[in-house]
Structure 1
């Protein structure tokens, strides 16, 4: 099955699959993609129940853009999760802690959003992104910071190389690039700054852990009115090849960039 959305999401909201009430609420939210989570937000004792609840949770989303995050390939839950998503007809699977293409072999080429959360994963990001079925990469910044043995509170700076490596790998394969979560739930200004940094790094959107973060991400990863105005003007003015546009030279590449930006109009 193909993913329900083809344009890269600006906002990717994680919701525990075991909480139907939260899923029902999420169905009415403005997140571009909802991820029903079987991994971090579900206790080990509740994993079986979460899998059993999955069809109900999917139904509550009324067919809107949705994915399911299963447990990591090196866990005892992986095989059972694969069976559950196959039975439920999940269109897009989020696989955490992917460290090599081999970790995705049992997905049989079905659409996957691969999470890069370890040093090994970063170094293998290009081959992971090029694996059949992979529609994009998502950074798991919390686990990545742990894998790199960063001190608590180190911030985003020490992750800069890894973040750019993931974007490069995703773009080389023609896929999505989704930034990691922002943990401070009440720091709207901090989230806004991190989303702006993510967009400037090249990410398409951001993974989110709370509904209050959706509007910030959607705004940050959408083109501004002035950007849309300029993009429209470039497309309208283009006649092919290198030419003057206002006070600068443009060529076909700039026109394609403008067209991509217009596709992202809110």
Structure 2
């Protein structure tokens, strides 16, 4: 198992906007790759059971850049799982997203692949730290709707507000999101935020993506191309924040220790935040 360490930067996985694409729609593969930072070719929920064999064949017949592609495979206990993994290997992809990951034992058979564990059930959320500790795991993602289904719940959010903006997640969903993020960060793995189901709610999407970026998520998953630019903009620090980060690095970075910068006392934790801001802004750190 890997030792705990600092959270990975977004550079370790494609991002910040990852776009799901049904694997049985090869006509959409190239378009998805052009419109997003990374593509998640989906062999699970987005594909009807009778179309999954064709979807696996499409992986090999219509290749994408493996550095920018993730393949979501069915859960370890699914009858589709082994065939999915075989198709991933045959197509030459290196990253898989394991649906409904519940324990480290679910990673059996994924040797040599980079795994993003989708912790979207009660068992998976509770096991997130143990899963994140596995060497093959490069990232964790959480999912609200499957989580609620595993609990016997009926809605991951409170009622939709009168403004049309999606209401906040219920406390149990927020707890799961935080637990998965903390588990990923504790073991130096990337964290991916869940999809925003309301495709017309771009205001709510932006707010959640801004929170994800500020909290340490490396990426947010998208269901539709129109969500991609919203996520990208949300992860990009605004000019004021970039200016703050540059000033902190310039004023404090070389001297080290605890320094005053304006009204703030700045030490290594704030320097680390400044570095993260500049990385998200695309600036090279020396």
The reply to whether TM is greater than 0.5 is yes
Question: Among residues 23, 26, 29, which one is paired with 2:29 in the alignment?
Answer: 23
Maintained 8 Å contact 2:12/2:190 = no
RMSD of Structure 2 on Structure 1 (CA) = 1.9
Matched, 1:145 2:148: yes
Count residues in correspondence.
Answer: 260
Corresponding residue number in structure 1 for 2:204: 190
Q: How far apart, in 1, do the equivalents of 2:147 and 2:269 lie? A: 34
Matched, 1:157 2:170: yes
Q: How far apart, in 2, do the equivalents of 1:154 and 1:256 lie? A: 33
Moved more, 193-202 or 36-45: 193-202
Runs of at least 5 residues in structure 1 that lack an aligned partner in the other structure: none
Corresponding residue number in structure 2 for 1:240: 256
Corresponding residue number in structure 2 for 1:171: 185
Runs of at least 5 residues in structure 2 that lack an aligned partner in the other structure: 1-9, 159-168
Maintained 8 Å contact 2:66/2:94 = no
Q: How far apart, in 1, do the equivalents of 2:219 and 2:236 lie? A: 9
Question: Among residues 202, 226, 230, which one is paired with 2:240 in the alignment?
Answer: 226
Structure 1 residue 15 displacement after superposition: 0.4
Maintained 8 Å contact 1:17/1:57 = no
TM-score (norm 1): 0.91
| 1:200-249 C-alpha deviation (Å, 9 max, x unpaired) | 54423211110000011111122222111111111111211111111111
Q: How far apart, in 1, do the equivalents of 2:21 and 2:274 lie? A: 34
TM-score (norm 2): 0.85
Corresponding residue number in structure 1 for 2:20: 14
Q: How far apart, in 1, do the equivalents of 2:156 and 2:240 lie? A: 36
Matched, 1:81 2:84: yes
